[in-house]
Amino acid sequence: MLEVPGIADRINGERVVLLGWPCAILMQVAHPLIAAGVADHSTFRDSATAPVRRLHDTVKAMLGLTFGSPAERAGVIAAIRAIHTRVNGTLRTAVGRYAAGTHYSAEDPALLLWVHATLVDTTVRLFELTAGGLTDGERDDYCRESAGVAVALGADAEAVPRDWTTMKAYVQQVVGSDALAVGPDALALAEALLNSRVVRLSGPLASVTRQLTAGLLPAELRRQYGLPWDARQEDRFNRLVGRVGTLRKWTPTPLARWRGSALPEH
């Protein structure tokens, strides 16, 4: 179930797709129950360097799931599930349609599905913008191959999209529904992710991250997060992804891709 075929290697092996993760995280915590779980149980806001440590841990898990042996992948899944068993509680205040006192759990299949979908959605979109196009079949293959991890983590096997058309429709449906509402927890997490002292000290990378995140976010979520957007900023975003794509094209493969990954033979 956790075997990793070539398309996952090709896409997940690109370091550049990490630039899409802030967008995925903001899409995730736009769900008030996920935001509460992160705010109550994560070290994300413990210090200025906490987001960096969290990113390091997440990357390590991703590499283990994508390029590890079957035993290593199973170990990562078990470790994540063990963490999820401890992440539960109730909303402190009402957010959107969710009343104060609403219970949340990181083991909720619906929340696991949303987290999974945001990662697949942003990874595919940013890969195509910066690292190369994909055929319809390759997008479908990536959705199908990625589904195994979501199911292993506890998502409903029948609900996880196995093709790109279904994945896009699911993401659009959730974004357009009242399931999402950016509340105080999500806004605080966005501030830590995009404007913390460590992020600001990264210089140009901080600006790149903010521009890419704003451009990749669905328009309604961008509005709720208070991220400014107009025709001029859209033009800047398009020029930025073009420059990132050019940089990726001329970056040597050992630098552009994670160690242990390999490009498929043609």
Banded model confidence at residue 6, pLDDT cuts 50, 70, 90? confident
For the chain, strand residue ranges (E) read: 88-90, 103-105
Question: Rounded CA gap, 192 and 229, in Å?
Answer: 20
For 67-204, strand residue ranges (E) read: 88-90, 103-105
Banded model confidence at residue 206, pLDDT cuts 50, 70, 90? confident
pTM: predicted TM-score of the whole model, two decimal places: 0.90
- Helix (H) or strand (E) run with residue 61 in it: helix 50-67
CA distances from residue 110 to 43, 80, 160, 163 in whole angstroms, order as listed: 23, 17, 10, 18
For residue range 133-154, what is the model confidence (pLDDT) as tens digits? 999 999 999 999 999 999 999 9
Supply 226's token pair. Answer: 């208070």
Instruction: Output the CA angle 48-54-58, nearest 5 degrees.
Output: 160
Closest CA to 173 of 213, 135, 220: 220
AA letter at 85: T
Is 23's pLDDT higher than 70? yes
For residue range 225-258, what is the model confidence (pLDDT) as tens digits? 999 999 999 999 999 999 999 999 999 998 999 8
Average pLDDT over residues 118-132: 95
- Helix (H) or strand (E) run with residue 151 in it: helix 136-153
Question: Rounded CA gap, 2 and 66, in Å?
Answer: 9
